Each structure stands twice: as C-alpha cells, then as structure tokens.
Amino acid sequence: MNKFLITVIGPTAIGKTALAVSLANHFDTVIISSDSRQFYKEMSIGTAVPTTAEKKGIPHHFLQHVSITTPYSVGDFEAEALQMIHNLFQTHDTLILVGGSGLYTDAVLKGLDTFPEVSPGVREELNQTLEQKGISALQQELKALDPEYFQRVDIQNPHRLIRALEVCKSSGKPYSSFLGKPKANRLFKPVVVGLKAEREILYERIHARVDQMMADGLLEEVKKLLPYKDYNALQTVGYQELFAFLEGVCSKETAVETIKKNTRRFAKRQLTWYRKTTGVHWFDYQTPHHEIATVLEEKIDLMK
C-alpha cells in the first residue's frame, strides 16, 4: 500500500495540465489522463489535448487512444486504467492522475456505482424523445425526476441524460440515490490536489481558451468531424455549437459565444461535483508548483 496516486482536479481551463506535468517532473513519474473528452484520436483542439511542448517529455497515458467510432464507456476506462496503474506501480511508487471528468476520476479512485436493471424499451423511448423533441425535453424530464443530479451532469450530453433517466424510470428512484455507495478497495493511497480561482478569473480564462482554440483551428477540426456529429463522443461543448454554425443554424460569432456560455456551465457543474469530494488539498491556481509539490511530498511521507 505504499503506492500513491496523486490526483489533480479542478474546473476546465484552471491549469491542471501544467501542474500535473510539474508534479510528474518532481516525482519522476508519468501521467494518466482521466479526461473523457481527450480519449479520442480525432479530437485535439476542442478538447485541449496537451501539445508536445506542454507535455515536456513526460509520458501521458489515455490520450487519444480510441476512435470516436468506437464505443468506450467509463467501465471500459476503469478496467484499463486500473490495469495500467498496476503495471506502472511495478516501476514507480507515485503516479499522477489528471482530468476534469469527475465520474472517470472517481471510477479510478473509488470504483463505479451499482445501478438497477433497466426496464426493456425505456432507452428506446428516451431516444425517440431526443429525436422528436430534442435535448431540452430530456433536460426538463431529468430536472423534474432528479434535480440533484441535474445540477451535476453535463446537460448538453444526451448520453448522460438518457443514462440517468432510464435508471430513474426503471427504478422509480432518483439516479443520484445510487451514487456514492461504498465501493471497491484500491491497492494505492490517493492524494487529491485541486486548483481553484475566483469565478470571474475562471470565466476570463475560459473565454481566453475558447478564443485560442478558434485561433488554433477548431473550426477546421469540427468541419472534418461533421459527418460524425451524432456520435456520442461529439456530444461535447465546442463541437455541437460549431456544428450548428456549419449547418446554418447560427452565425459563427453566436456559436463562439455559445461555446463560452456552455463551457462556463460545464465549469459550474464540475465545481458542484468537486464540492462533494472530501480530503482535497486546494490551492489557488497561481500557487507556485514547487510549493504544491513540497506540500504533497510531506503529506505522502506522513502516509507511509
């Protein structure tokens, strides 16, 4: 059990990648990504996949390792990540886990929640609702059946909405009531560090990142993916809004502003998720990385 998984969390655009790389350098180790938007080979700019320069020579695992056409669930990730962690702990005492997808991070740290069987036909019914009435109908239904989970879920992701609703409808209980139960033990000790900033600063960083993505060629990336727009991987902020522009639904300026708005909403949901995470060592986003590394090193020494 003297193996440690340093886990970096925080809202989008807060600086998690840079901190993770600094910590990996300090502890002479590697990085595992738990960002579900960065798993896909065809998506780089809109998911802020770290560049070669940003990686600074540190090996990263679970970046762009599957195709958008390949079904890939949180359960798949949990199994593969745990096997990878087991293998890496043969040669490292400390590993770095980083990502903004709370569900995927928790799957590694705690294991997945157990849900009841879904009644036959419920998923098909919900898919028909999505097709005929649009995503807003699913959003309103989830808000009525499980207002707690509605505050946490990415409401722009129809796959997540349908998953929650099918459990609600099949069990007669809120989806959130099945979350947070005791789960599997892990053969490592998690050390969770979070980055935070005032909301106004976070929003400024989000807006700057979106502008930079557009300058880096996000629209061209999205154009290539237009034929695949209905795939689950592309039900993602930054892609759906530009699909709407390319299909003549709105102007480019409106699409970019909508990306910023939806990214702000996504950050709010991340913060809601993190508020329920205990034992986090929170730091202001401007804290020098070497200071954070020193605190974590002392923490790990105490846990040995």
Residues annotated within a binding site for substrate: 12-17
**Nearest residue to 262 (alpha-carbon basis) of 276, 274, 284, 244:** 244
| Phi, psi for 96 (deg, rounded to 5) | -115, 125
In SS3 terms, 199-250 reads as: HHHHHHHHHHHHHHHHHHCHHHHHHHHHHHCCCHHHCCCCCHHHHHHHCCCC
198: part of which helix (H) or strand (E)? Answer: none
- Using CA atoms, how far apart are residues 197 and 285, in angstroms rounded to an integer? 6
- Using CA atoms, how far apart are residues 65 and 285, in angstroms rounded to an integer? 29
- Using CA atoms, how far apart are residues 189 and 239, in angstroms rounded to an integer? 37
C-alpha Rg value of the chain to the nearest Å:
19
- Tokens 């005929």 belong to which residue? 132
Partner residues linked to 4 by β-bridges: 94, 189
User: What letter represents residue 43's amino acid?
Assistant: M
The alpha carbon dihedral of 269, 271, 274, 276 has a sign of: negative
Interior/surface letters 180-200, b for 16+ CB within 10 angstroms, e for the rest = eeeeeebebbbbbbbbbbeee
User: Which residues are annotated as part of the binding site?
Assistant: 10-17
User: Which residues are annotated as part of the binding site for ATP?
Assistant: 10-17
193: part of which helix (H) or strand (E)? Answer: strand 189-196
